[in-house]
Amino acid sequence: MKMPALLSIAAVVVFCLLAITGIPAAAEEHTAHTMQNPEARPAAVPHAVTGHGHEDTGHEAHTAAEGMPQKEDAHVHPSASAAPQAAEVDEKLGQYVPEGLSFTDSQGRVVDIRSVMDKPTIVAPVYYSCPTVCNILMSSIASVLPGVTLTPGKDYKVLSVSFDELDTPELAARKKANYMQALDNAFPPEAWLFLTGDKHNIDAFMDSIGFRFQRQGRDFIHPVVLVAVSPEGKIVRYLYGSGFLPFDITMAATEAAEGKVGLSVKRVLAYCFTYDPEGKRYVFDFMRIAGIVVLSGIALFLFLLLRGGKKRN
């Protein structure tokens, strides 16, 4: 085969590869669906990408937490379907949490949120009157903390931050007491803080970490995620879902200590999954992946063919 013909075929292959691997717009447009419906974002999706094999399992030892319901993986309320599709995570990897944002801890002390992030910090955006998934998320955290191979308070901290301006320090204190009890009071209280704030500071902080939520009456539509932040305030990793292994927290805190920005899970998901509006969920796109594999094989074959032709010449 002549060189011009080979180059033409190679150009077509490259074009097809670019077309196939383009991130689908639907993935971004429908992110909110995945956060509003338990079926919308299959729990196995983020877990499979992280490669740590964690599953969402119940933790009977921690049912002492207030209002512990059956386990779900997304926040759902009856009025959620009528809300604007704005509940999502807009990843801010590599960006910084600003200074000067005031919150109140469970003891009624006003603190600058950046000042309490003096260690690698795992941030849990929640609200304390949440009847479902926020309790699940925090119970999941409590269940894995004993297995984290780092020293709490020295190597890392956990920060539960309410995005409901109606939550009070008294409610935060009750929540904290529940989870300290779930940890048999063996976890240093100063290593897991529970914060509340006013709307201005809440909005500024949640915006800085890319956490988007929508109020629906007394409840909220919101994503379920943890955010790892370095002692300098740099956002380094997002952990999606409500179930984790000790390794996940250990790795996130270690990366935060180094200021090392992790891989964007959303970007990987957009390549490998497409949104099914009928089923209201993301599904693995076998055709997309198969197409990439086939075209990559053709491209490799052409490369070797061209290389062999040059050697013969």
Tracing tokens 């997002």 back to the chain, one arrives at 238
Position with higher pLDDT, 76 vs 118 = 118
Q: Does 48-273 carry CATH code 2.40.280.10?
A: no
Return the higher-pLDDT residue of 150 and 45. Answer: 150
Q: How confident is the model at residue 243 (pLDDT cuts 50, 70, 90)?
A: confident
Which residue has tokens 């009528």? 82
| Model confidence at 176: pLDDT above 70 | yes
pLDDT for 270 equals: 52
35: pLDDT strictly greater than 50: no
CB 105 within 8 A of CB 169: yes
SS3 state of residue 232: coil
Distance CA 212, CA 89 (A): 6
pLDDT value at residue 132: 87
Q: Is 221 exposed, middle or buried (0-12, 13-18, 19+ CB in 10 A)?
A: buried
- In 3D space, the residue among 224, 167, 177, 227 whose CA is nearest the CA of residue 198 turns out to be 167
* CB contact at 8 A, 293 and 17: no
Q: When comparing pLDDT for 71 and 287, which is higher?
A: 287
pLDDT digits (tens, 9 = 90+) for 198-238: 999 999 999 999 999 999 888 999 999 999 999 999 999 99
Determine how β-strand 219-221 pairs with β-strand 225-229. Answer: unpaired
- Both tokens of 274, joined, read 């497409």
pLDDT mean over 43-63: 37
Kindly list the domain boundaries of the chain, sorted by start residue: 1-30+277-313, 48-273
Q: What is the dihedral of CA 33, 59, 119, 75, to 10 degrees?
A: 20
Q: For the chain, state the CA radius of gyration.
A: 23
Average pLDDT, the chain: 76
Of the candidate ranges 13-22, 187-196, 232-241, 244-253, the one whose mean pLDDT is the lowest: 13-22
The number of beta carbons lying within 10 Å of the beta carbon of residue 142 is 23
In this prediction the pTM is 0.62
